[in-house]
């Protein structure tokens, strides 16, 4: 498949006058329609904007490649357009787009993922220095198409020769060989642009290179064990996880895919100068060196290790917590209003509470286990699990069985990190063992010594953790009304501060930990209620604002606003992130204010939530659901009106640009 097989003269428009991203998309859809590629412009438009909502298809340096794979495409095709004055396309480098290619791919037939192949070819062609400038200077569609045809013939003929040389079978004598892996989150344009930039720079420096691309269509030009064994070094330019264990013991530089595009010479030169650190897969202790030459930040590593534990813990917390909440709801519907057996009085309620309780009680062991695994790989998992169980039971030397008072969430956190670093210490101690003992390390030495040591350590620190946990529970139980409302205000505001980021996660972890030690007055359940309502407000407030104050938002934003109603009601705060990222100085203060008001009101109304998730769907399980609903609506309107005051109305021509054509209903 070549670009000149999909692009015709009728699909090329030069020196176009474009007013907006929506206008650019519409003009290019008309070009594809003229080529006979699409049967339904509205359906294809919807596919294009659905893809744009995932992430912009602008790739930087003035280039955008919108694309869609939908049933409305009759045959694959490409449209091309130059925009000398540029158009804002939400590009990652903030630069206006002057060259656009739109790819239409049918949902079935014509081979699999033809649009990915077209994207790959375009990325390779456009990475050639000066080629974009030549296209922009083309004096007619014929010249534009001729330039592409000639460059394709030259590029892909040369590429095949280069791949043969870089395969390790035709290596020029004495020439350094470098390997590389490129991968971006979507696996499309940036993956192949980084590969092309590294290839071009290696040619200029007289270095042989082989680049593996881990794209949306799978791995291409895969590195073989022979390649890895004989290379001088490996550049891993990725923005997502790729298979790294195969590089054990080899010089590796791990960096971002953007660095692969923008700084290929520096990366290659580090390999040639012998500055790439040796990668050790067994302990995950690779000294990750970026182009700046700095190692990973310690705080960043700790946060990633914590989030590994949290991400594995949440399904147990959410699933188990909601089942427990259903047990309370069943007993309430049966006329039971409280008491020590509330939630297990009826047989049905007891079933839900037992199953949910088993799942919920896995929270602390899973948290500790996967924190340890993030630090020390699989050998840390068992030791972390045991440490989490010891924390959960509050085991001490005087009471090894425990079970009376738990060391709680803090104890499990310590257990996870201690277990991980215990295993790293054991690995260093065992590194001098004879190779004949290599096989017994993971199955005998690490688990036996690790579990024994974590037992000793947790028995020592559990008394302190229990004291802190009991003190925190007592503090929550003794809060007066004013202090409780202030707590709700802070928790609610934190949930909207970065919507899924570290501050949001800290508030949520505190709330879920409070569920396991709610206190005599149910303060932990009240904190959970304030936490959830604080996370629900941002997307709902934005959705309400796009409905009541439409002239503050573009057609695309108004469409996204509709989706936020569903996300907000489902307690998915991340729905507000695109709006916050686009206009943080106005959106974030508005959302923080709205969430803080809701959190404070929820606390003032005495609302309690036994489930750690669920949004509007667990409203019947909340004590004082009417008050909770009032608090939610109040926060929505506060956030909505503050945002409307801070955001100025858009110029009428921007707001009305696509209104007459029905874009608001059809674009997304």
DSSP β-bridge partners for residue 79: 102
One domain for residues 351 and 405: yes
Burial of 334 (0-12, 13-18, 19+ CB in 10 A): exposed
One domain for residues 243 and 261: yes
Return mean pLDDT, the chain: 79
H or E, element range at 550? none
One domain for residues 355 and 270: no
Conformation bin of residue 67: beta by default, left when phi > 0, alpha when psi is -120 to 50: beta
Is the alpha carbon torsion for 364, 367, 371, 372 positive or negative? positive
Q: How confident is the model at residue 655 (pLDDT cuts 50, 70, 90)?
A: low
Indicate the DSSP class of residue 443: I
One domain for residues 323 and 375: yes
Model pLDDT, residue 130 = 84
| 61-70, 424-433, 448-457, 659-668 — most confident range | 448-457
Strands (E), 534-662: none
Model pLDDT, residue 68 = 86
Range name among 87-96, 332-341, 481-490, 571-580 with the lowest pLDDT average: 332-341
Residue 15, domain member (yes or no): yes
Mean pLDDT across 119-128: 78
Compute the radius of gyration of the chain from its Cα atoms: 29
Model pLDDT, residue 219 = 76
Does the structure show a pLDDT above 60 at 665? no
One domain for residues 150 and 236: no
Does the structure show a pLDDT above 70 at 186? no
Q: How confident is the model at residue 6 (pLDDT cuts 50, 70, 90)?
A: confident
User: Coil, strand or helix: which one is 667?
Assistant: coil
Which of 37, 115, 121, 184 is catalytic? The answer is 184
CB 650 within 8 A of CB 582: no
Model pLDDT, residue 357 = 82
CB 410 within 8 A of CB 468: yes
Q: Which of the pair, 654 or 451, is modelled with greater confidence?
A: 451
| 51-55, 115-119, 335-339 — most confident range | 51-55
CA distance readout (Å), 370 to 380, 417, 564: 8, 10, 32
User: Coil, strand or helix: which one is 18?
Assistant: coil
Mean pLDDT across 358-380: 86
- The DSSP string of 191-233 is HHHHHHHHHHHHHHTT-EEEEEEEETTEEESPPPHHHHHH-SE
One domain for residues 195 and 329: no
Q: From CA 147, how far away is CA 133, in angstroms rounded?
A: 11
Alpha helices in 334-444 (DSSP H): 347-360, 363-376, 379-393, 408-430, 438-440
CA distance readout (Å), 214 to 113, 197, 281, 401, 441: 15, 16, 20, 50, 33
Q: How confident is the model at residue 339 (pLDDT cuts 50, 70, 90)?
A: low
Does the structure show a pLDDT above 80 at 8? yes
Tokens coding 332: 């309430």
Model pLDDT, residue 286 = 38
**What is the share, in percent, of the chain residues with pLDDT greater than 70?**
80
One domain for residues 192 and 316: no
CA distance readout (Å), 286 to 281, 430, 649: 7, 18, 51
Q: Which of the pair, 636 or 668, is modelled with greater confidence?
A: 636
Tokens coding 59: 């790739």
Mean pLDDT across 638-647: 92
Mean pLDDT across 625-649: 92
Q: How confident is the model at residue 109 (pLDDT cuts 50, 70, 90)?
A: low
Residue 18, domain member (yes or no): yes
Model pLDDT, residue 181 = 93
Phi/psi for 72 (5° steps) reads -70, -5
Does the structure show a pLDDT above 90 at 174? no
One domain for residues 435 and 356: yes
One domain for residues 57 and 135: yes
b/e map 268-288, b = 16+ CB within 10 Å: bebbeeeebbebebbbbbbeb
What is the number of domains present in the chain? 4
One domain for residues 454 and 499: no
Q: Which of the pair, 26 or 562, is modelled with greater confidence?
A: 26
Task: Give residue 504's domain range.
Answer: 481-666
Q: Is the whole model's pTM more than 0.85, yes or no?
A: no
- Decide if 184 is catalytic: yes
Q: Which of the pair, 276 or 175, is modelled with greater confidence?
A: 276
Indicate the DSSP class of residue 444: I
Q: From CA 581, how far away is CA 94, in angstroms rounded?
A: 13
Model pLDDT, residue 662 = 35
**In this structure, how many other beta carbons lie within 10 angstroms of the beta carbon of residue 379?**
26
Q: If you count them, how many residues does the chain have? A: 668
Model pLDDT, residue 474 = 63
Residue 257, domain member (yes or no): yes
**In this structure, how many other beta carbons lie within 10 angstroms of the beta carbon of residue 660?**
7
Tokens coding 54: 């995932």
H or E, element range at 84? strand 77-87
Model pLDDT, residue 13 = 94
Residue 522, domain member (yes or no): yes
CB 211 within 8 A of CB 182: yes
Residue 568, domain member (yes or no): yes
Residue 468, domain member (yes or no): no
Phi/psi for 98 (5° steps) reads -115, -15
H or E, element range at 277? none
Report the CATH number at residue 215.
3.40.50.2300
Range name among 254-263, 377-386, 454-463 with the lowest pLDDT average: 254-263
CA distance readout (Å), 158 to 10, 130, 165, 199: 30, 18, 11, 11
User: Coil, strand or helix: which one is 213?
Assistant: strand
Model pLDDT, residue 167 = 42
Does the structure show a pLDDT above 50 at 399? yes
User: Coil, strand or helix: which one is 284?
Assistant: coil
Tokens coding 34: 């003229």
Q: Which of the pair, 304 or 659, is modelled with greater confidence?
A: 304
| 70-79, 399-408, 459-468, 606-615 — most confident range | 70-79
Range name among 176-180, 317-321, 336-340, 404-408 with the lowest pLDDT average: 336-340
Does the structure show a pLDDT above 60 at 550? yes
Q: From CA 425, how far away is CA 376, in angstroms rounded?
A: 10
One domain for residues 512 and 453: no
Final residue of a domain: which of 431, 463, 495? 463
pLDDT tens digit sequence for 271-329: 888 888 888 764 444 333 433 334 445 555 676 677 777 777 777 877 777 787 778 77
Report the CATH number at residue 34.
3.40.930.10
Which of 67, 115, 121, 190 is catalytic? The answer is 67
Residue 239, domain member (yes or no): yes
Long-range contacts of 227-230 (CB under 8 A, 24+ apart): 227/167, 227/168, 227/177, 227/179, 228/179, 230/168, 230/171, 230/177
Model pLDDT, residue 291 = 38
Final residue of a domain: which of 128, 154, 180? 154
Provide CB contacts within 8 A for 245, sequence distance 6+: 281
Tokens coding 40: 């339904």
Q: From CA 200, how far away is CA 86, in angstroms rounded?
A: 28
Residue 445, domain member (yes or no): yes
One domain for residues 150 and 242: no
pLDDT tens digit sequence for 439-452: 677 778 889 999 99
**What is the share, in percent, of the chain residues with pLDDT greater than 90?**
21
Strands (E), 122-232: 177-183, 208-215, 218-220
- Decide if 545 is catalytic: no
Final residue of a domain: which of 293, 320, 347? 293
């Amino acid at each position: 498949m070549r670009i000149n097989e999909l692009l015709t003269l009728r699909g090329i428009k030069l020196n176009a006058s474009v007013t907006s991203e929506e206008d650019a998309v519409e003009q290019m859809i008309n070009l594809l329609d003229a080529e006979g590629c699409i049967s339904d412009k509205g359906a294809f438009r919807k596919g294009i904007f659905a893809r744009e909502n995932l992430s912009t298809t602008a790739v930087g340096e003035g280039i955008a490649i919108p694309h869609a794979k939908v049933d409305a495409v009759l045959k694959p095709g490409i449209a091309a357009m130059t925009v000398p004055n540029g158009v804002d396309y939400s590009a990652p480098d903030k630069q206006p787009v002057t060259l656009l290619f739109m790819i239409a791919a049918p949902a079935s037939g014509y081979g699999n993922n033809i649009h990915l192949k077209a994207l790959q070819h375009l990325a390779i062609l456009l990475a050639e220095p000066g080629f974009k400038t030549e296209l922009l200077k083309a004096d007619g569609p014929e010249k534009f198409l001729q330039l592409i045809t000639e460059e394709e013939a030259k590029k892909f003929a040369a590429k095949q020769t280069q791949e043969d040389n870089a395969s390790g079978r035709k290596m020029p004598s004495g020439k350094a060989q470098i390997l590389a892996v490129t991968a971006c989150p979507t696996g499309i344009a940036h993956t192949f642009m980084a590969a092309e930039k590294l290839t071009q720079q290696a040619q200029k420096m007289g270095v042989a290179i082989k680049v593996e691309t881990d794209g949306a269509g799978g791995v291409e030009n895969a590195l073989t064990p022979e390649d890895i064994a004989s290379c001088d070094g490996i550049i891993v330019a990725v923005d997502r996880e790729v298979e790294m264990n195969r590089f054990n013991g080899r010089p590796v530089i791990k960096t971002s895919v953007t660095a692969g595009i923008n700084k290929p010479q520096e990366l290659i030169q580090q390999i040639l100068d012998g500055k790439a650190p040796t990668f050790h897969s067994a302990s995950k202790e690779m000294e990750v060196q970026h182009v700046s030459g700095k190692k990973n930040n310690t705080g960043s590593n700790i946060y990633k290790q914590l989030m590994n534990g949290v991400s594995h813990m949440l399904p147990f917390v959410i699933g188990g917590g909601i089942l427990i909440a259903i047990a309370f709801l069943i007993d309430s519907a049966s006329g039971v209003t409280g008491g020590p057996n509330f939630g297990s009085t009826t047989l049905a309620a007891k079933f839900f509470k037992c199953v949910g309780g088993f799942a919920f009680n896995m929270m602390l062991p899973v948290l500790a286990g996967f924190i340890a695994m993030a630090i020390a790989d699989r050998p840390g998992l068992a030791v972390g699990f045991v440490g989490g169980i010891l924390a959960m039971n509050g085991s001490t030397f005087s009471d090894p069985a425990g079970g009376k008072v738990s060391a709680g969430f803090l104890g499990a956190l310590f257990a996870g990190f201690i277990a991980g670093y215990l295993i790293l210490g054991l690995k260093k101690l065992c590194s001098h063992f004879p190779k004949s003992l290599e096989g017994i390390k993971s199955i005998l030495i690490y688990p036996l010594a690790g579990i024994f040591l974590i037992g000793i350590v947790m028995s020592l620190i559990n008394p302190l953790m229990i004291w802190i946990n009991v003190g925190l529970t007592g503090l929550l139980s003794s809060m007066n009304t004013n202090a409780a409302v202030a707590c709700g205000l802070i928790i609610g505001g934190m949930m909207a501060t970065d919507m899924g980021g570290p501050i949001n996660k800290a508030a949520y972890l505190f709330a879920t930990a409070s569920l396991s030690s709610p206190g005599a007055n149910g303060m932990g359940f009240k904190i959970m209620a304030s936490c959830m309502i604080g996370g629900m407000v941002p997307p709902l407030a934005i959705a309400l604002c796009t409905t009541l104050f439409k002239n503050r938002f573009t057609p695309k934003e108004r469409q996204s606003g509709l989706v936020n109603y569903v996300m907000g009601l489902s307690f998915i705060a991340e729905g507000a992130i695109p709006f916050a990222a686009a206009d943080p100085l106005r959106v974030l203060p508005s959302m923080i204010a709205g969430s803080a008001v809701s959190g404070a009101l929820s606390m003032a109304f005495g609302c309690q939530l036994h489930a750690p998730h669920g949004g509007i769907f667990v409203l019947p399980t909340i004590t004082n659901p009417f008050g909770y609903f009032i608090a939610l609506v109040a926060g929505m309107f506060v956030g909505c009106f503050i945002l409307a005051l801070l955001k100025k109305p858009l110029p009428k021509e921007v707001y009305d640009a696509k209104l007459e054509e029905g874009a608001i209903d059809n674009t997304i």
